[in-house]
């Protein structure tokens, strides 16, 4: 999430009641999750296991629960609860409505048809010649390109599935990102595409999604991908161009799938994959799998 205008370190520290380490006028441009951070962003970390990853990331402001050595060219915000204060920052700069207010400011392109039963949130942009079927729900800040088809009961821009355990309960990290559907995309019935926590969940130009597909927060799907029914992609994944995911494929969070890859039905992914064809619970190379099956069947 980028702020509407650059902020100063002392301003952000005052907003959340944190101590800061670094020049008081150090420039802060926005917030982001560790997988998507850029220079000028705040990233939060609240466990020593992840200190090094956060401190050495592209983020230049680290919201942290303990004072540590600050890397050169960066700044720290020291908080007793970085998770809570990350939410405070995000909701201060992004208005959260969740269909409780109708502010609208919706842009709709020429030739677009939206069924009257569809529900559209605030600050939504929809391009030209797009077709939106009955009972579609489009959350705040969603951006949809030209010549897009979105079939019935699909939800774009639901909250990210991102929680921590706090005092025996689950505490949500509030989603202030959005969903971007590029031009010439087709999305089937009953799909759910979560908005980014702080960035965009993106479906690339020309991609086609079947029915009942779940795409997690901040995931980027490339161009001209083909995704079959009941696929589940967790948050913060990067899927290249012209990737094919057949039915019931499951991809764990934070993994990257190289362009041109094919995942056969029910393949499970728990690591980054180079271009190839894969099958099985742990994404085994398909040719290797076939050779193994032949050997097993020839055993006497």
d(CA 194, CA 172) in angstroms, rounded, equals: 14
- Helical H runs in 122-232? none
Look at the block and give the residue holding tokens 């392109």: 109
Annotation says 217 is catalytic: yes
Classify residue 60 by its DSSP letter.
Answer: S
Q: Closest Cα to residue 175, out of 188, 190, 193, 189?
A: 193
Contact partners, residue 53, CB within 8 Å, separation at least 6: 34, 45
d(CA 43, CA 76) in angstroms, rounded, equals: 10
d(CA 20, CA 221) in angstroms, rounded, equals: 37
d(CA 47, CA 178) in angstroms, rounded, equals: 27
d(CA 31, CA 198) in angstroms, rounded, equals: 7
Candidates 4, 35, 47, 217; catalytic one: 217
For residue 177, how far is the Cα from the chain centroid? Answer: 8
User: What end-to-end distance do the CA atoms of the chain give, in Å?
Assistant: 61
Angle of helix 9-16 relative to helix 82-93, nearest 10 degrees? 110
d(CA 65, CA 18) in angstroms, rounded, equals: 10
Contact partners, residue 246, CB within 8 Å, separation at least 6: 228, 231, 262, 263, 264, 265, 267
d(CA 208, CA 187) in angstroms, rounded, equals: 6
Label the pairing between strands 178-181 and 200-203: parallel
| Residues annotated as part of the active site | 217
């Amino acid at each position: 999430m980028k702020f509407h205008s650059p902020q100063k370190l002392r301003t952000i520290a005052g907003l959340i009641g944190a101590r800061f380490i670094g020049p008081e006028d150090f420039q802060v441009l926005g917030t982001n999750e560790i997988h998507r951070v850029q220079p000028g962003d705040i990233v939060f970390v609240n466990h020593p296991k992840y200190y090094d990853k956060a401190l050495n990331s592209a983020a230049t402001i680290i919201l942290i629960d303990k004072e540590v050595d600050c890397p050169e060219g960066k700044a720290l915000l020291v908080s007793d609860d970085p998770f809570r204060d990350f939410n405070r920052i995000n909701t201060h700069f992004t208005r959260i409505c969740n269909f409780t207010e109708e502010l609208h400011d919706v842009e709709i392109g020429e030739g677009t048809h939206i069924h009257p039963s569809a529900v559209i949130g605030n600050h939504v942009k929809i391009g030209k010649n797009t077709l939106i079927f009955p009972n579609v729900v489009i959350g705040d800040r969603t951006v949809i390109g030209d010549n897009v088809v979105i079939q019935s009961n699909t939800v774009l821009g639901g909250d990210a599935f991102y929680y921590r355990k706090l005092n025996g309960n689950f505490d949500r990290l509030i989603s202030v990102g959005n969903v971007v559907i590029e031009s010439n995309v087709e999305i089937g019935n009953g799909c759910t595409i979560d908005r980014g926590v702080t960035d965009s969940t993106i479906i690339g130009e020309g991609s086609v999604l079947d029915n009942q597909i779940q795409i997690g927060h901040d995931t980027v799907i490339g161009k001209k991908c083909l995704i079959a029914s009941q696929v589940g992609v967790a948050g913060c994944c990067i899927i290249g161009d012209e990737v094919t995911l057949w039915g019931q494929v499951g991809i764990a969070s934070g993994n990257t799938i190289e362009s041109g890859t094919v995942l056969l039905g029910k393949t499970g992914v728990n690591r980054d994959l180079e271009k190839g064809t894969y099958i099985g619970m742990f994404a085994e190379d398909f040719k290797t799998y076939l050779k193994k099956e032949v050997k097993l069947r020839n055993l006497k």
